[in-house]
Amino acid sequence: AQTVTQSQPEMSVQEAETVTLSCTYDTSENNYYLFWYKQPPSRQMILVIRQEAYKQQNATENRFSVNFQKAAKSFSLKISDSQLGDTAMYFCAFASGTYKYIFGTGTRLKVLA
Amino acid sequence: EAGVVQSPRYKIIEKKQPVAFWCNPISGHNTLYWYLQNLGQGPELLIRYENEEAVDDSQLPKDRFSAERLKGVDSTLKIQPAELGDSAVYLCASSWREGAYNEQFFGPGTRLTVL
């Protein structure tokens, strides 16, 4: 069975600094997708970034980028130039070709002014 | 474009009572998901619909939970009877078509408290 592990329950970062959130997963499948979702306080969960496992190039979306290490089954999220609006719960998620979605337990990120 | 709409936003009931949650996905989205999110945890998939067909309900506790998506648009999730352990946030999400890669758009959730 697939699992997703986020080992950092809480993190904080100073505004304008860079922070990296960790995620590891376990699967025996070769075709899958990885996501980072953001859930701001009292607001809807939104997609931050996604990665296809067959692509070696790491995905980037403006200030957000990932470090995808397929052999190590690691999928970390780097947030550059952190902003106050980045304060949220961040969930790492895995989806297989059979559409089984597995979310991690989340990392609570607080950006400090 | 309107997002995923859920109602009610909050619900407090006594154990053994029935409760229902409603979800209206983004217009044109064929895939609809219901998730359970316990406090401090990530969402856990309960059921996935492709149009009006429930294609994955393996995680839905069928003894007390039921769901429907008539006409392939709105969906209702029901619990009867509710238990104390059902207290959680129930999230609805939709995506425009079938496929694991597609972005899911989430609603604000319904926070259920069972007393």
CB B57 within 8 A of CB B49: no
Count Cβ neighbours within 10 Å for each residue of A64-91 and write b for 16 or more, e otherwise: bbbebeeeebebbbbbeebeeebbbbbb
| Per-residue model confidence (pLDDT) at position B71 | 86
Closest CA to A11 of A22, A3, A2, A1: A22
A25 touches chain B (CB under 8 A): no
pLDDT tens sequence for chain A (113 residues): 789 999 999 999 999 999 999 999 999 888 899 999 999 987 899 999 999 999 989 999 999 999 999 999 999 999 999 999 999 999 999 998 666 789 999 999 999 99
- Which of A7, A29, A101, A105 is the best residue to mutate to test the B interface, defined by the most B CB atoms within 10 Å of its own CB? A101
DSSP A2-71: -EEE---SEEEEETT--EEE--EEE-S-SSEEEEEEEE-TTS--EEEEEEETT--SPPEETTEEEEEETT
- Which of A3, A45, A107, A108 is the best residue to mutate to test the B interface, defined by the most B CB atoms within 10 Å of its own CB? A45
| Per-residue model confidence (pLDDT) at position A30 | 85
Burial class (CB in 10 A: 0-12, 13-18, 19+), A27: middle
Whether A50 sits inside 8 A of B103 (CB atoms) is: yes
Neighbours of A31 (CB within 10 A): 12
A103 touches chain B (CB under 8 A): yes
Q: Give the distance from residue B100's alpha carbon to the nearest chain A alpha carbon, in angstroms.
A: 5
Enter the tokens of residue B11. Answer: 């619900």
